[in-house]
Amino acid sequence: MTLSSEEKIQLSRYRMEKARRALSDAKNLVGLDAFDASVNRSYYAILSADRSVLILRGIDPETHDGIKTMLSREFIKDGTLPKDLMETFRRVRGRRVNFDYGDYSETGEYEALDSSTRTEEFLKKTSELVNELVKGLE
Tell me the backbone φ, ψ of residue 6, rounded to 5 degrees.
-65, -40
**Most distant CA atoms of the chain, gap in Å:** 50
CB atoms near residue 108 (< 10 Å): 11
Q: Give 1's pLDDT tier (boundaries 50, 70, 90).
A: low
Containing structural domain, residue 69? 5-137
Total count of domains within the chain:
1
Report yes or no: 5 and 138 within 8 Å, Cβ to Cβ. yes
pLDDT per residue as tens digits for the range 64-107: 999 999 999 999 999 999 999 999 999 999 999 888 787 777 78
Q: Residue 17 is part of a domain; what is its CATH number?
A: 1.20.120.330
pTM: 0.92
